[in-house]
Structure 1
Amino acid sequence: MTSPGVAAPDAVLAPWRSRWGLVPDGGAFATPSSVLQPVRRNGVAAYLKLATVAEEAAGGRVLRWWAGRGAAAVLAADDDALLLERAGGERDLAALASSDADGDDAATRILCRAALRLHAVDDHPRPDGLVGLRRWFGELFEHAAAHPTEHDGLFARAAEEAEALLAEPEGDVVLHGDLHHGNVLDFGEAERGGRGWLAIDPKHIHGDPAFDFANILCNPGREVAHAPGRLERTVRVIADETGIDERRMLRWTLAWAGLSAAWSERSGDDPTIAVGVGMLALHARGE
């Protein structure tokens, strides 16, 4: 697998451009987990993507498994390299959510429906390399043990809630794992022959379906996530779209917020949004 510190992304991708007959449609660039380039094949817009870390490669296997059902289609694949369908629509969920409360609710409904489409895929065998939610929450459990009183005990309370939820899952599906407003894109309006809203960049986890909806509450940014009444209103929308009990959704929101904040603190990032959402979830539960 290619090193994450790739110095010449264009050269790294050259073998696959040649192999698949791709024409560059923009510059190649590297992220901490992959090398990408917008390309065209026979005039069709696509993205060439090479995973450079194991977790990203595992997410690519999930995309291949979904086979375009609720997610961007994989047009070609070769080990850790993928040729992906490219979104061409102009609609943006973060902008919609930031417009006003009605737009935020509409964006939440779109995200919920996108997740439900993914969860409905039940092919066997499942993708290689999936991990369960208990392992995914490992860093929260470690962080809570090391910082039991931080943020008024948020990590400890989130870890306790996560343990209880993981002990009694309500289903087991292949999850997206990072469902937010930047990972569900506009692939063209269905009424005009497009493919609608589709997911990109999944993780490689499985477990309780409710987990996937909690990240909506922490996004698309602090102004929206911390807006007065937003958490309670969005939980109601999620419950309406998915049938998940509102109380249970609040519990998953607390667990997810704790995990997200733990990740942020352990990597040196700002945990403010996740901590705030966690405290809002506690308040909504009357704590």
Structure 2
Amino acid sequence: MSISVPATFVTGLVEAEGEAQRPWLDALPALAERYLRRWRLTLDDGAPMHGMGALVLPVRTASGDAAVLKVTWPHVEAEHEGLALRLWQGRNVVRVLDADDANFVLLLERLDHTRVLDDAPLDEAVHVCAEFLRTLAIPAPAEIRPLAAVAKRWVTELPEQSKGIVPDHVVAEAVAACERFGPLARPLLTNEDLHYENVLGRDGTWVMIDPKPIAGDPEFGVLPLLWNRFGEDDVMARYATIVREAGLDAERARGWALARAVDNWIYPELTPACRAVGLALAG
């Protein structure tokens, strides 16, 4: 059961997170093989898949069912992925077959990775994700990292990291939103990384994968739905559609979208969308 880690995964993670990730990458084949043995899995046909932070191996269970073994690079945003998925119980999300949360290893049902919401018409994709924002907002357990703590940190971080990059009035509005809505954030399970590439097909339906759970307002999940597929439409019209169809609070949605726009403005690939949204919402 020899595991070959794609060079593109290694390069991408090191470029994004630095050379400090090399030891984990070096140990990754042995870690994956350990769980193949523990859960009595066999590698199936098909090449290993990956995003930026996880290796995904097509496998078969001992009973012959198709599944995937997902081994994630340990980081705080993914710490409670397995817990969140189990709480959602497979309703519009990928099902968990087994898990070792401490080592960021999940055994998941295998979805149709050739059917991606990112390829669907934008109107359909927006509607599906707005529905996810609405229906997946359930009470979050105490273990999930709180949005209130993120907002408190951003009050000082956003002005420091944005100096000379983001207009001062936009930063001021974002900080004010953190100060206003952070202490009032509701303890609801929210995916802060919901976007169209992380929704795959299952028997004619759409299913969310790879959540980054946070305990807070579902309005915090809006901005990735705007910077993904940016340029295909009037982004502020899309923003209004998401807020309306997801049944979101307009003021919270505005505040959190502003805060996240400022936080992500510094990344070149996100700058155009964050600038457009930030300037429009700040007025």
What is the TM-score with the length of structure 2 in the denominator? Answer: 0.77
The answer for the alignment partner of 2:124 in structure 1 is 106
Q: Which moved more, 1:105-114 or 1:136-145?
A: 136-145
Q: Which runs of 5+ in 2 are unaligned?
A: 1-20
Structure-1 residue corresponding to 2:87: 65
Does residue 43 in structure 1 map to residue 64 in structure 2?
yes
Displacement of 1:250 = 3.1
Q: Give 2:12's aligned residue.
A: none
Q: Which amino acid aligns with 1:198?
A: V
Q: Secondary structure at the match of 2:218?
A: coil
Match of 1:15 among 34, 37, 45: 34
Q: Is residue 30–residue 36 contact of structure 1 (8 Å, CA) maintained in 2?
A: yes
Letter in 2 for 1:271: P
The offset of 1:75, in angstroms, is 0.6
For 2:189, the aligned partner's letter is V
5+ residue gaps, structure 1, are 97-102, 190-195
CA separation of 1:59/1:3 partners in 2, compared to 1, >3 Å: closer, same or farther? farther
The answer to whether structure 1 residue 116 and structure 2 residue 116 are counterparts is: no
* Residue 131 (structure 1) shift: 1.3
- Verify the 8 A CA contact 1:215 1:253 in the aligned structure 2: no
Q: Superposition pairs for residues 191-210 of structure 1, below 5 Å?
A: 196-210=205-219
Give yes or no for the alignment of 1:5 onto 2:2. Answer: no
* Corresponding residue SS for 1:150: coil
> Helix, strand or coil for the counterpart of 1:5?
helix
1:85-137 superposed Cα distances (whole Å, 9 cap, x missing partner): 121264322222xxxxxx21211110111232321x447xx263x11113234
Residue type at the aligned position of 1:187? R
Q: Is the 8 A contact 1:161 1:255 kept in 2?
A: yes
Equivalent runs, 1:142-221 vs 2, <5 Å = 142-145=157-160, 147-153=162-168, 154-169=170-185, 171-189=186-204, 196-220=205-229
The answer to whether the 8 A contact 2:173-2:282 is kept is no
**Between Structure 1 and Structure 2, how many residues are aligned?**
256
Once the two structures are TM-superposed, the CA of residue 15 in structure 1 deviates from its matched residue by: 2.1
CA distance in 1, matches of 2:43, 2:107: 12
| Aligned position for 2:247 | 243
Q: Check 1:27–1:104 CA distance in 2 against 1; reply closer, same or farther (3 A cut).
A: closer
CA–CA separation in structure 2 for the residues paired with 1:48 and 1:257:
33
Are 1:217 and 1:253, in contact at CA under 8 Å, matched by a contact in 2?
no
* Equivalent AA in structure 2 for residue 212 of structure 1: G
Give the TM-score normalised by the residue count of structure 1.
0.76
